[in-house]
Structure 1
């Protein structure tokens, strides 16, 4: 399949697409031909930069601004998505069949070991990393065409022990379980639901782990390829799951960690 047109005619929403993994995913899906809603929670400037870059490369994208982890967040996301889509398509697409691909990429981290965790941080992790994706999927299914794709960005932390990130791992583990249940429920509509578990990817979220050359080298050494992952390493796998080539894959957790800690 020609990846340059694999997603032509498809409409995607990528949460947390203003930076990091989400940005890489949005850019890749747009290169493959999808019209991409670039969601952001706080940094409008970053999201607009992503949209501008996609358009400069000949792709299609529009910004979707709404904070996650607050009451009514899913409603706000899709209100912004619907409005942006109508503007982008000049009213040619309505909300009834306006989505093919949902990528739940947005997330927060920084919980620390259990002895240092506080309820406010724990609640924030659950609200953004687990509750928001749940209700985003609920809203998405009202718009998603049969044969659509739901792709959840989880973490290697749900399959390996990272005691300094226990709340984060718990919140991402909820995505893994949701994936299984939704894959069973939505199979009749031809909608696939899968989870990706990245390892250490070079993003702002884990910059604290790469503050020195020694720390950076130690992280790289945990992969069999002796390097830290890039957002494109994850985005390329998302593009496969978003395409028709993945039609017989659902309910799966895909380890995209570069062989970390094998």
Structure 2
């Protein structure tokens, strides 16, 4: 019997990267999953990978409350309930001070902050006592990395929002926790060559001297979704190889 047997999860951005890895992990542990994304072609491929018997895809935009309400309702209609929400969908973007257009900055905030809130709001009518809400933040929320003001602000907002959701949803027996990933091999970096160009610099800033894998983030999401975390409320778990907690332990600061 799996850790999520009998549970139904809604995962935004479940068609690639961390979302897809989490969907696969959830299904392996007995859950049924509804995934959302904006690209129907990648959603279809994801369902094939996960297994059509255990997953269902809804083309939805997290910034459109109506489409998220449709996705949450689909989970109940398709699989009979909703126990877990992983508000994972998000975008990155380079927004240097002095060289950023308003539309670029606002779009990052809209997807990464407003979209997260309305994902949770759409799911709320269906979540039962014992349910789990998981938000996706980032180590960049506190790293002060030059050029990433909008992304950092958006992820810092997610962490702050989680604290409010805890106070609002705890009386209903719903847990709210946050995952804060570090640099991870996902499509958020663009094409593979984009990641390859950054990998050397990125790994030098991580004490474990490597990037994370989507499956390693998914393992933490699995824990937070499961009854193993039944008394874990309001936690923010860093999955970053030590980059956030001990930056001076990174290879770039250590003697060769």
Fold conserved between structures, TM > 0.5: yes
Q: Which residue is equivalent to 2:51?
A: 55
Task: Trace 1:193-212 onto structure 2 (pairs within 5 A).
Answer: 193-207=176-190, 211=194
Deviations 1:2-27 (A, max 9, x none): xx611111110000111111111111
Q: Which residue is equivalent to 1:36?
A: 33
- Deviation of 1:218 after TM superposition, in Å, equals 2.1
Runs in 1 of length 4+ with deviation above 6 angstroms?
none
2:142 aligned with 1:145:
no
Q: Could you tell me whether the CA contact under 8 Å between 2:62 and 2:118 is conserved in 1? A: no
Cα separation, 2, equivalents of 1:244 and 1:84: 20
Match of 1:159, SS state, is helix
Cα separation, 2, equivalents of 1:133 and 1:24: 19
Q: Which residue is equivalent to 1:127?
A: 110
Deviations 1:146-187 (A, max 9, x none): 110010001101121112111111111111011111112211
Cα separation, 2, equivalents of 1:202 and 1:136: 24
Q: Could you tell me whether the CA contact under 8 Å between 2:93 and 2:151 is conserved in 1? A: yes
Q: CA RMSD in A?
A: 1.9
Q: Which residue is equivalent to 1:111?
A: 94
Correspondence for 2:85 among 102, 107, 110? 102
Task: Trace 1:218-229 onto structure 2 (pairs within 5 A).
Answer: 218-229=201-212
Match of 2:34, SS state, is strand
Gaps of 5+ in 2: 249-256
Match of 2:206, SS state, is coil
Q: Which residue is equivalent to 2:12?
A: 15
Deviations 1:184-242 (A, max 9, x none): 22112221101111110111212479648664222122222211111011000000000
Gaps of 5+ in 1: none
Deviations 1:12-67 (A, max 9, x none): 000011111111111111111111001111x21111111111117xx610001112
Normalised by the length of structure 2, the TM-score is: 0.89
Q: Could you tell me whether the CA contact under 8 Å between 2:87 and 2:135 is conserved in 1? A: yes
Deviations 1:110-144 (A, max 9, x none): 13212222210111111110011112211211110
Paired residues, number: 245
Match of 2:143, SS state, is coil
Cα separation, 1, equivalents of 2:75 and 2:121: 20
Q: Which residue is equivalent to 1:46?
A: 42
